[in-house]
Amino acid sequence: MADQYARGRDGDGSRLPVLRWDETAEGPRLVLLDQTRLPGEETEAVCADVPAVVAAIRSLAVRGAPLLGITGAYGVALAAVRGDDVESAAVVLAGARPTAVNLGYGARLALAAYRAEAVHGAERAASAALAAARELHRGDAEASDRMAAHGLALLDELLPGDGYRVLTHCNTGALVSGGEGTAFAVALAAHRAGRLRRLWVDETRPLLQGARLTAWEAARSGMPYTLLTDNAAGSLFAAGEVDAVLIGADRIAADGAVANKVGSYPLAVLARYHHVPFIVVAPTTTVDPDTPDGAAIEVERRDADEVTRGTGGGRPVAPEGTEAYNPAFDVTPPELVTAIVTERGALSPVTGGGMAGLWDGTGPLGAG
Pairing of strands 329-332, 345-347: unpaired
CA angle 308, 311, 316 (to 5 degrees): 35
Q: How far is the CB of 300 from ligand MRU (least distance, A)?
A: 8
Treating both helix axes as pointing N-terminal to C-terminal, what angle do 86-94 and 101-117 enclose, rounded to 10 degrees? Answer: 170
- Annotation says 250 is catalytic: yes
Pairing of strands 19-24, 27-33: antiparallel
Q: Is 11 exposed, middle or buried (0-12, 13-18, 19+ CB in 10 A)?
A: middle
- Alpha carbon distance 82, 12 (integer Å): 37
Q: Which is nearer to ligand MRU, 68 or 130 (CB)?
A: 68
Q: Which is nearer to ligand MRU, 217 or 250 (CB)?
A: 250
Instruction: Report how far apart, in Å, the C-alpha atoms of 303 and of each of 169, 170, 230, 300, 337 are.
Output: 21, 18, 20, 10, 29
Q: Which is nearer to ligand MRU, 127 or 182 (CB)?
A: 182
Q: How far is the CB of 64 from ligand MRU (least distance, A)?
A: 4
Residues of the shown chain interacting with ligand MRU in the complex, contacts defined by CB under 6 A: 60, 63-66, 100, 170, 172, 176, 181-182, 209, 248-250, 260-261, 328
In DSSP terms, 287 is beta-bridged to 252
Which position's Cβ is nearest ligand MRU? 248
**What does the DSSP 8-state code read for residue 99?**
S
Which are the contacts of 275, defined by CB distance < 8 A and separation ≥ 6?
Answer: none
Q: Which is nearer to ligand MRU, 125 or 187 (CB)?
A: 187
Q: How far is the CB of 37 from ligand MRU (least distance, A)?
A: 14
Q: How far is the CB of 308 from ligand MRU (least distance, A)?
A: 18
**What does the DSSP 8-state code read for residue 188?**
H
From 250, 255, 288, 330, the catalytic residue: 250
Q: How far is the CB of 302 from ligand MRU (least distance, A)?
A: 8
Q: Which is nearer to ligand MRU, 176 or 196 (CB)?
A: 176
Q: How far is the CB of 128 from ligand MRU (least distance, A)?
A: 27
Instruction: Report how far apart, in Å, the C-alpha atoms of 204 and of each of 209, 215, 261, 302 are.
Output: 6, 11, 8, 15
Task: Count CB atoms within 10 A of the CB of residue 84.
Answer: 14
- Alpha carbon distance 182, 141 (integer Å): 10
Q: Is 364 exposed, middle or buried (0-12, 13-18, 19+ CB in 10 A)?
A: middle
Q: Which is nearer to ligand MRU, 92 or 328 (CB)?
A: 328
Residues with active-site annotation: 250
